[in-house]
Every structure is written in C-alpha cells, then in structure tokens.
Structure 1
C-alpha cells in the first residue's frame, strides 16, 4: 500500500516533460557532485598508494645502514636479524655514479645487489655477469634499448688517483619500472660482487634491505607494523646502525597529500550542498505547479505526516539513484585517467605519469552518508515551512 502511494505520488507529479527534465537535471547534478568528491578522494588515495608501492619496489620494507659507512654483514648481524624474526634480507651497495651513453652523461644511483634482492622488492631482476638493469625513464630519456652498452663512472678509492674516475662498460640486460619518476630516472642495478670488485670493498656493503616478518603484504595494511618493527630494530641494534621505512624520504609529501585530501573533501561538500538546493528547488517547483493535486491528497484524508513521508521517500529514492549514477561517473573518470592523453601528468612534477583511482568502501559510505545527511536536513527544513500552509489557504490560493 505504501509503495502504491509512493508510485501514485511520483506519477502524479511527473506527468509532464518539464517536471521530468527538472528531476533528471537534479538527479544528474547530485550524482556528479558526489562523483567529484569520490574522484578527488580516489586521486589522493591512488597517488599515495602508487607512490608507496613504487618506493617499496626500490628498498623493501626497511633499510639498515651503519653510521660508519661500509660494514661487513657479519654472522653477529645476521644472528641479530634472525633473532628479531627477519627472514628476508639482502646486503647491497648503494653509490652515486654517472652513466655515459652516446657522449651524454647522467647522474645516477647504482645499486649492487645479490640474488636475494629481487624477492624482497618484488622486481624481476635477473642480472648476468657484466650487465645492468636501468630505470625506465633513463632508457626513455637517452633512447637506450636492451642490448646497448653503457659506461658507468665510479670514483677511485686509491690515494694516487682518487680524483680520477674509473670507467666500466656494461650491457643493458633489463629496463625496470618502479612506477615513480625519481626512481626510474636515477636507479641502475648491477651485480654486487662486480661493484665490490670495482670499488675494492671486498665483502663490505653499506645498506641492508629487508622485509618485516608479517603475513600482511598489502601496501595499506602494514604501515603501522613497519614503524613498530623499525623502532624495535633500532632498540635492538643500538646506536651503531639506523633504520628507515621505505617511505621516509617522501614522508612530508605523503603527510601533505593526506592533509589536502581532508581539506579538499570538506570544501567540495559545498558542491553537494548546491546540488541539494536543486532538490529543494524541485520540491518548491512541484509544490507550486501541483498545488491542486497536493491539496486534493490532503482533502482525501492523507495526513501531513504521511505527505511528508512520501516526500522523504521520493527524495531518498533520488539519493539512491544518484549514488548508483555517481559510481558510474567514477568509473568513467577512472577510464579517463588511465587512457586519455589529456589526463597524463608530467612525471617530473607529479612523480608518476598516470594515477589510478583508489576508493575504499569506507570512503563510499562516508561520502554517500554526508550527501544523504545534507538532503534530509534541507528537505526537513523545507517541509516544515510547507506545513505552515493550511488546507483552506491552499485551496483559496488555487481557486480564488
């Protein structure tokens, strides 16, 4: 019975093209405003996730370095890591160098890695003797292809020739993408044993990359675990070594993105409020255009409370329809961000050329709930004002 009343109520007030067009405009406007907020949150979340994922691909969960510089990965250090539950770790050499190709040079960061490093960072690194893997942006900017030979310039360690670089030629075996411009434009991987031999380091390293002993491997879920484990290792190893989570160098940027996400989301609520005022205008429009039918409902015994409930149900149905359409808009925005050239970002500024939307179910619930709250508040205020008009006054206005 209640459903029939709502259906009759809707059909009666939407019996002409003007009312239907007005309702469609209100529906699309409300859906678009919700989609704008969801897409903004999704872009911020997507940027943070992509940045974290790219950074993790370059170092694992944590890195350990010595205050003294290079050090031996001794049995004592290995035992201490094992006692703390660290199962995956890899000693690496990270050193600045220059890459020379076709008479052009570029400042890079060379990482000397072993066979364990690939499983820690989830990169398909398979290096042969006298080969390197270079970042995607290095290859793109210098037009380097697989099989080409590049020259790496290293500083000498001897006192006699310490101001002269030593040059070594390598074959490009792989081109690696981290998804972060700063990494893809600087990172070069080589065999650790070869770098140790070139620099005369014997078996010493200057960094250890490791993963936290946790079954949680999603980027979003293990941040707190990593921070707590970082503090635990610093306490265990004392002042000789220091540890860094993989996002430490970009922590200020990530904090800024989070703050901006909250601020922008609050500001964009104004768009929803404006769309809700369109709903208010629609109710006023129907109230004026269909005043005879409204008062006829009352004359036939429909109470004010029942009438208001029908309005609330109609507005709620509009909100549900707008929520589904907003999800469709969000998917359309996602496709544009992925494939449209217009939305390709300059990597040098935004760290990555493409950003995918990431919207959690809590984001959906929050945005939808706030939109519903605004709609109900403004509708309630409007209906209270409409109550003030009596049946006799309405009929007099209609027929006098």
Structure 2
C-alpha cells in the first residue's frame, strides 16, 4: 500500500510548482552523478585492462625470486620437478642485472635480461618485435634485443647495426680496490632487433642470452636471478603459487603477475576510487535537494496524512510512504544516468568519439570496459544516500500530529 501512495505522490502534479522543480532537479543531479560514476569507472576499467594486456606481454604468470639477496640457486633436479608440475605451460631461467651500453660516444644504463631458449614460452616479447628478429644469440656470439627507446638512446638501428655494442656489467666476485673499472666486466655484442610494448619496458630493458650474462658476472652454474613460469590456466595462479611455495621453501618467494606490478595496480585503483569518492559528493549534494523536496511534500500532504491516520495508518506506514518517495527519486535518477552512460559507452566503443590528447599513446581514444559490479555499486550508492536523506523528513512526517481541519 505504501508503494502505491508513494508512486501517486511521485507522478502527481504538486500544487506548489517549486516542489516539482526541486524534485526534478534532484532527479537530474542524481542522473548526472550516476552517469559520471559509471563512465569514470568504465574508463578506468578500460585503461586497467589495456595496461594489464601490455604488461602481460612482458611479465610471466609467476616469477620465482630470492627471499633475500639478488640470486637464487636451482639445481637441474629442482628445475625439472617444477617443469613437470601439473598446470605448467613453460619455464625460463633468467639472469638480470643493470648494465651500461656504449656505442661510440653514446651510452645509457639499462636492465640487461639474460634468457634461455624457452623464453618465448613465458613472455610475449618475441611477438612484439618492432624491428629485426628476436635472437638473443649464444654465449660465444651474444646478440642484443633492444627496447625501442634504447635504440634512440645509443643511436643504432638494431637490424642494420654492423658494429658491436660494448656491454659493461658488475662482476659478482670482484674484489674492492682502488680501480673501480676492475669491478666491471666488458663484453661486445651485436644487435639483432628491437621490441615495442610499453615505454616502461622499451626505455629500460635489453634482452640477451643467459650464458653471456652469467659468464660476465661470474655466476655459478646453478645460480640465477629468477625463474619465470607460465601456466596453462592463469585462473589457477593462486592455487599453483601456494603449491610451488611449499615445494621451494622459505628461501624463495613466488610472485604472481599482479604482485610483480603491485605498486602500479595499487596506484591505478587508488586513483579510480578517489575519483569515485569525489563524484559521490555530487550525490550527497543532491541529497540536500531531496530533503527540501520531501519536506515541502510533507507540508503539502498534511491533509492526506491526517486522513490516513484517521483510517488507522500508524507512524510506521507514513514513514515508509515518504521513504519510498525518496527512493523513487533516486531510482529514477540512477536509472536515467545508467542508461545515458550505456549509450555513451556504446558510442565510444563503436565510433571512438572521445579522443586522447597527445600522440605518445598506443591508442588515440579513451578505452571503456563495462563491469556489472560497477553498475551495482553505483546503484547501491544512490539508494543508500537517498535512504539516509529521506529518513529525516519521513521521520518528522510520522511524528507530527495532523488535524483534518488544518
């Protein structure tokens, strides 16, 4: 019954035009706020999905690192046992260290990543070549696969460079003395190609074969920087990580793809929810309009409330009528905002009407990704705020005594 009364009050024309204006302003503000919330969350989802796809091309599903220090020791027996575990798609041994690349007068500091022949099983770098081919060479004839940004830093075209590039690496067993150059190893390598994935990688990483890096750094035969693993079913990452951690023990730590980039994902999510909180303030501002609209409606419907009381309506029923009235305003506004957001998202996906400013992006438009939980969250936010703000005028309406002669 209370829903029927609330619906009639909602759609009926009020005697005071200000009530109509305030009510529709409230609906409009709620619609605008919910539309903005859905759009912002969808754009952040789009960027997050884009970043994850880019980072997935470089990072493996799992990465085994030392719990302390810079290197791990893995025997051939341990490596084989991991490779035989259920769910393992591929593995690759890694030796990684900061290095100085020098080409004539030009030089730059990079992260030199030595990989074994199985690297293509755990990473998408070989599929994202910008120039040349993915060929890390051998221990005797090392080759370098450069990030596209590093090509510019040292002034080479990786697929045409005939002269070798000098690589300086720190020696692991170097003794301290007055000559700092004695702590560095020097080697020459040619370039075979360059990759282009994302600036964080393109400007930082150079890939070569693991034998060359281990030789230059005086690594032991069973000593590595990391062990990367790809899984047949990435959805089983958590379960597999726990099993692998038990096998390896406390001297090793196993990081998922998310944990390898935890700071990035945390910052993206923090930005997303900060913007969401700011937009929620618009809803709270709209709530003040709702209080005014409902308070004026209560004053207008005093005779109706008195009639209901005379017919036996209790305070609880009257309170529910005006609470429902506030929720109807919120539902109308939220539904309108969500529909508008869906239309805009569809147009953006279909026609890419809103462009990104600048030319340094991989895409030239704002990506959007609709997630059902965002719609539920936005709707619940609007309803909770509406319920909270409707409570005060509804409570006042139920507590006041009305007279039919008023």
TM-score (norm 2): 0.66
Residue in 1 that maps onto 2:386: 375
Q: Structure 1 residues 358 and 151, CA, compared in 2 at 3 Å: closer, same or farther?
A: farther
Gap runs ≥5 in structure 2: 138-142, 175-180
Superposed displacement of residue 283, structure 1: 1.8
Q: Structure 1 residues 303 and 144, CA, compared in 2 at 3 Å: closer, same or farther?
A: farther
Q: Structure 1 residues 17 and 35, CA, compared in 2 at 3 Å: closer, same or farther?
A: same
The CA deviation string for residues 156-208 of structure 1, in whole angstroms up to 9 with x for no partner, is 77999875733433143x43214xx4333202233556767888989877244
Matches within 5 A, 1:248-263: 248=259, 250-251=261-262
- Which of 197, 206, 226 aligns to 2:224? It is 206
Superposed displacement of residue 382, structure 1: 0.7
Q: Structure 1 residues 81 and 227, CA, compared in 2 at 3 Å: closer, same or farther?
A: closer
Residue in 2 that maps onto 1:232: 246
Residue in 1 that maps onto 2:78: 77
SS of the residue corresponding to residue 384 of structure 1 reads helix
Q: Structure 1 residues 52 and 10, CA, compared in 2 at 3 Å: closer, same or farther?
A: closer
SS of the residue corresponding to residue 134 of structure 2 reads coil
Q: Structure 1 residues 303 and 92, CA, compared in 2 at 3 Å: closer, same or farther?
A: same
Residue in 1 that maps onto 2:290: 279
- Which of 134, 139, 146 aligns to 1:127? It is 134
Matched, 1:169 2:190: yes
SS of the residue corresponding to residue 283 of structure 1 reads helix
Residue in 2 that maps onto 1:189: 207
Gap runs ≥5 in structure 1: none
Matched, 1:155 2:168: yes
Larger proportion of helix:
1
Matches within 5 A, 1:6-17: 8-13=8-13
SS of the residue corresponding to residue 112 of structure 2 reads strand
The CA deviation string for residues 292-312 of structure 1, in whole angstroms up to 9 with x for no partner, is x66368659887666655544
CA contact (8 A) 1:108 1:186 kept: yes
Matches within 5 A, 1:308-347: 309-327=320-338, 340-341=355-356
SS of the residue corresponding to residue 392 of structure 1 reads coil
Residue in 1 that maps onto 2:140: none
Superposed displacement of residue 372, structure 1: 1.3
Structure-2 separation of matches of 1:95 and 1:176: 21
Structure-1 separation of matches of 2:353 and 2:155: 24
Structure-1 separation of matches of 2:324 and 2:157: 63
Structure-2 separation of matches of 1:88 and 1:32: 49
Count of residues in Structure 1 that have an aligned counterpart in Structure 2? 377
The CA deviation string for residues 22-44 of structure 1, in whole angstroms up to 9 with x for no partner, is 33321232234445566676677
Structure-1 separation of matches of 2:152 and 2:32: 38
Structure-1 separation of matches of 2:208 and 2:118: 13
CA contact (8 A) 2:95 2:115 kept: yes
SS of the residue corresponding to residue 59 of structure 1 reads coil
Structure-2 separation of matches of 1:261 and 1:78: 40
